[in-house]
A and B are shown apart, each in its own frame.
Chain A
Amino acid sequence: MKAKLIAIWFAALGIILISNCTSSKGQQGEYLYNVYCAPCHMEDGNGLERLYPPLNQADFLAENQEHIPCIIRHGIEGKIIVNGVEFNEPMAGIEDLNDVEINNIINYINQAWDNDIPTVNFKTTEERLQQCP
């Protein structure tokens, strides 16, 4: 009886662990966002005043989907307008991230907070990265 109970416990534990693994894979984008992007764009995606632009409900993000992978990898500088506000502060590229990770971050921010931008498949992101200037 006791052995049986222990076995059930282990099975339950196993299921919990496995389901955690798969779900954390789905959330890799969120995890990476919080590590690499949230310091500036903030966890709520709203940026900071006129220093760091928002990603939540940002027209720039919605209208420049083809450029986002290269912005993440190589950064961006010069004047840009996001939701009518001018930003002009260089963002350094984040070179630690591989193609898969960049794709996961994009799919996280496109759907996070109040955003509803279509997700992007890996192949598209990969092609866009190959065409970075």
Chain B
Amino acid sequence: MKYILLPIAMMAILSACVEEERQLPIYGEVDIVEGDTIYHTIRDFTFMDQDSQIITNETFADHIYIADFFFTTCPTICPKVKQQLIRVRDAFPDEGRLKFLSHSIDTRRDSVPTLRKFADKLNISSDRWHLVTGDKKDLYDIAEDYFSIAKEDPNAPGGYDHSGYIILVDKNRHIRAYCDGTDPDKVDAFMKDIQKLIDEIDEG
């Protein structure tokens, strides 16, 4: 009996290792076009951040980044998400390849100076973390690329309905991980995914 258990235990340990080292998946729909596999990709964008810098896909060309959607006067989930994002930032203090892109969905109230004040109060600096505003339709449309919801809803707290997801994007604009940014346990697991993606860059 003992001799049967041993190989089973070893297999379990081995498969756990394999599981650990597996690369992160690429999320979203996959198209096959003339034999090529086309993965879900974040579209082109142009927004402006809290320091009036123009932010495009190029800003993140050699980086991985975490995207989220929020608005500064949000009374419900956004502060929790920001708290967790700050925790993520502080867990990777010197990782210059990891950036943050927070989209405001309240184009009416969240002007550049408002975003700037908000950033200052949260000690968010634009060399790693961009709080952006832009064309309302562009912002709402790109939310779909990030599997997020962003829309005006007079019945929602603060006037906007949106999800608290945080999304990890690689340098090829593919989504590699996402989680509920209000839940510290899920964010712990998400941080392991970030490390995996960083290791993936290191390996070439």
Contact = CB atoms under 8 A, between A and B. Distances in A.
Interface of A: 38-40, 42, 48-52, 89, 92
A50 B121 contact: yes
Nearest to B157: A39
B77 A39 contact: yes
Interface stretch (B7-15, B27-35, B61-69, B78-86): B78-86
A31 to B, nearest CB: 16
A39 B83 CA distance: 10
A39 B80 contact: yes
B123 A39 contact: no
B59 interface: no
Nearest to A41: B79
Contacts of B120: 50
B118 interface: yes
24 contacts: A38-B80, A39-B75, A39-B77, A39-B79, A39-B80, A40-B75, A40-B79, A42-B83, A48-B79, A48-B82, A48-B83, A48-B86, A49-B86, A49-B122, A49-B123, A50-B120, A50-B121, A50-B123, A51-B79, A51-B118, A51-B121, A51-B122, A52-B79, A92-B75
A100 B123 CA distance: 37
Interface in B107-129: 118, 120-123
A49 B89 CA distance: 14
B75 A49 contact: no
Nearest to A91: B75
Interface residues of B, number: 14
B181 to A, nearest CB: 13
Contacts of A39: 75-80
Interface of B: 75-80, 82-83, 86, 118, 120-123
A97 B80 CA distance: 22
B52 to A, nearest CB: 21
A52 B80 CA distance: 11
Nearest to B122: A49
A80 to B, nearest CB: 13
Contacts of A50: 120-123
A108 B134 CA distance: 42
A91 B83 CA distance: 18
A36 B193 CA distance: 32
B79 A49 contact: no
B123 to A, nearest CB: 6
A52 B121 CA distance: 9
Given A39-B80, A42-B83, A48 B75 contact: no
Nearest to A90: B73
Contacts of B121: 49-51, 89
